[in-house]
Chains A and B, each alone.
Chain A
Amino acid sequence: MELAFYASGLVAVLATLRVITSTNPIHALLYLIVSLLAVALVFFALGAPFAGALEVIVYAGAIMVLFVFVVMMLNLNAAVTARERAWLGPRTWVGPSVLAALLLVVLLATLQHGDIGRVIEGDTLTAKAVGMVLFGPWLVVVELVAMLLLAALVTASHVGRSVSREADSGRDGA
């Protein structure tokens, strides 16, 4: 179980690194799916099978497929890849990377102050326990989340509609 945690954690980090440095959107997506599956494995290793299953089904399954569909709709080709590479010069990434590394250091330093001495045994918390929490005391939160999804649905269908006339006037107004 420990081995599964560390190995999949390593895979997740490496795959994520490839996601943010990749120049081809499709490759990046596939790496991200790998990363998400690795995280799902981490969940299983930690004894949270319900979360791991959700990660695979919802994240790697539904959301990433949505991404893939959208990317397929766009006309991506070798020129796009070349431009991505041009945009990824050292001047572009050194500064943000240093900043992010700094933030990581600070985050880890902050972690030191927390109560982190506990060890995860790996005992399974079943879906039943999660369901008891969700549909017991957290019922209102679940309702709210449902509302959020509905709002996202309406927003996406409004923003994503294709009205060419409005597109033109929008450009003029920009």
Chain B
Amino acid sequence: MTWTLPLTFLLPLAGTLILAFSGARLGRRGTTWVGVTSVALAALVTALLAHHYLAAPEARTLTLWRWIAVGDFQPTIGLRLDGLSLTLLGVITGVGLLIHWFAAWYMQGEEGVTRFYAYMNLFVASMVLLVLGDNLLLLFLGWEGVGLCSYLLIGHYYRTAANVRAAFKAFLVTRIGDAFLAIGLFLLFRELGTLNIAEILQRAPERWSAGDPLVELAALLLLGGALGKSAQLPLHTWLADAMAGPTPVSALIHAATMVTAGVYLVARLHGVFLLAPAVLWLTGVIGALTLLAAGFAALAQTDIKRVLAYSTMSQIGYMFLALGVAGFEAAIFHLMTHAFFKALLFLSAGAVIVGCHHEQDIRRLGGLWRRLPLAYVGFLVGGAALAALPLVTAGFYSKDAILWQALAAGHGALLLAGLLGSLLTSLYLLRLIVGIFHGEAGSEGARRAEAGQGLAHGLPLVVLALLSTFLGAWLEPPLGSVLPAPHEGSEGWHLALELLAGGVALLGIALGAWLFLNRRAWLADVAARGLGARLWRLWHHAWGFDAAYERLLVRPYRGLVSGLRHDAIDALGLLPARLAWWLHVALSRTQGGKLRLYAVSMVVGATLILLVMAVAA
């Protein structure tokens, strides 16, 4: 069955090619059919692969061909299927299929459907390549491929300048991370002589002892790449703006799959990171800071999708926290459940946005729970999972695993950050749900809201809602053979932590419900004056990172560039051009059609020649 492995990315790639070369000749139905079917077939292949893998759980590799041969550098197009890549593969094709299907409903009446599906299929193909590649070069190919698709899809509505800027920003910021990653790969290759992941994991402990400066540096560079892709501090600024794309894109790329690629990278190269304790600690700290900062920022957003974007950052912060305490399994588990419930939330948000005629400001929505019942259920289930409502939701089990790993590894501060984060999560979630579905509608679009119809609208929401409950937590990823064993601890402490975390989540929900259902006027009053207003502004602009980067990086760079435009060296380089120009001006003066000037110059010439002759003779 291993031979079917390439089909997982070849099928979406074929979809891309068919759509790209059809040039919109297929029509709306045909385009949608091709786009969804290619991913559906890939999902089918994945299911078959999973069936076979679970029957005999051992890693399988398949080398298609040798990619390049330059001396010792001989990377292959090789695929590796193990528990980790299978988990990611399932998420990508499974959630990807549901989102593609939902997009068939979402994109009806939108322009550029062919473009949309071609890029979405290309994204799935690149992402599959990213997780299946058995060497880092192939991973990097997929990594850049998903970055490209992200850029293209953020700028889907390219006629609005702000969207194009958002796409550009996402591309540039992730590029910084990609540069780190590329340098990290160079370093690994120079030190270990290979980019094959299995060989790296095998050779790294032989070559380096724990805490060696070189391995710390390599891990730091890899972490830089992961931070850029996964929108963590300080390279997180692009994700909120990336919501300019269509909502299915936000669901698939900017919530469920691509942004978690950084988590996958760190988990995949856990052997390197375990040798670099300082970087691992830094990973956890960054995760904790991001989850708190993004949680506060999510409290003060007015756009549905921006709330969800900051929530995504916050949840990926949890995953990085888990990575930082070496709880790789917990991180991947949370990655999976997060993909389910965040996709559900985004798709429900898409249902609300389309239902309300593209109104996505929560201040102008409200009272929609009667009109959009399915979206309401989607938000409730997804929100419960996000807030980690105890026992019944998938989010509870994965988040609990993370917190437990933090406790078991003895990182008390990180544990506290995680608990505070879950309180924030409950608060911003309640604010979002109450804002959309309760109270009074604030705009005409919300009052005339129409619920979506059809299988493409309903089925993905229902399936994702089911996966967001404890049913999703039953899908335990088979990671034991790939990742190091999780930390062990006493069961008593674990139970106590579960109770505490559940209590915090319930407390947050209760507090949020009380605040946002009963005390809205008081809240608005607090947010409008004094310290409250200042905090609101700070959080609304997500701690002012954009402004700070603008002031610290963009403007000085622009100043430098405009200075370099007129520097001395450039002037020297322009000298020949200037000289040619002056000569041209002077010479064209002599060809002005003034006949007498011609005569004079002839006489001067003749005089000079005769003079030379007279002197010489």
Residues of A within 8 A of B (CB): 95-96, 99-100, 102-103, 106-107, 109-110, 113
Contact = CB atoms under 8 A, between A and B. Distances in A.
A113 B617 contact: yes
A110 B606 contact: no
A5 to B, nearest CB: 26
Interface in B471-524: none
A106 B610 contact: yes
A100 B604 CA distance: 9
A100 B602 CA distance: 11
A96 B610 contact: no
B1 interface: no
B617 A99 contact: no
Interface SS of chain A: helix
Contacts of B614: 106, 109-110, 113
A96 B604 CA distance: 10
B526 interface: no
Contact of B603 (A100, A109, A110): A100
Contacts of B583: none
Nearest to A108: B614
A112 to B, nearest CB: 8
A110 B611 CA distance: 8
Nearest to B610: A106
Contacts of A99: 600, 603-604, 607
Interface string B569-602: 0000000000000000000000000000000100
Interface string B216-230: 000000000000000
B613 interface: yes
B600 A110 contact: no
Given A99-B607, A103-B603, A109-B614, 20 more contacts: A95-B600, A96-B600, A96-B603, A99-B603, A99-B604, A100-B603, A102-B607, A103-B606, A103-B607, A103-B610, A106-B607, A106-B610, A106-B611, A106-B614, A107-B610, A110-B610, A110-B613, A110-B614, A110-B617, A113-B614
Contacts of B617: 110, 113
B605 to A, nearest CB: 11
The 7 closest A-B pairs by CB, nearest first: A113-B617, A106-B610, A109-B614, A103-B607, A110-B614, A106-B611, A110-B610
Contacts of B613: 110
Contacts of B610: 103, 106-107, 110
A103 B610 CA distance: 8
A102 B607 CA distance: 8
12 contacts: A95-B600, A96-B600, A96-B603, A103-B606, A103-B607, A103-B610, A106-B614, A107-B610, A110-B613, A110-B614, A110-B617, A113-B617
A99 B611 CA distance: 13
Contacts of A96: 600, 603
Nearest to A95: B600
B592 to A, nearest CB: 14
A107 B603 CA distance: 12
B591 to A, nearest CB: 16
B135 to A, nearest CB: 70
Interface in B424-452: none
B366 to A, nearest CB: 72
A113 B610 CA distance: 12
A121 B604 CA distance: 37
A99 B604 CA distance: 7
A109 B614 CA distance: 7
Interface string B193-230: 00000000000000000000000000000000000000
A110 B608 CA distance: 12
B261 to A, nearest CB: 67
Contacts of A103: 603, 606-607, 610
A1 B613 CA distance: 35
Contacts of A106: 607, 610-611, 614
A14 B606 CA distance: 25
Contacts of A110: 610, 613-614, 617
Contacts of A113: 614, 617
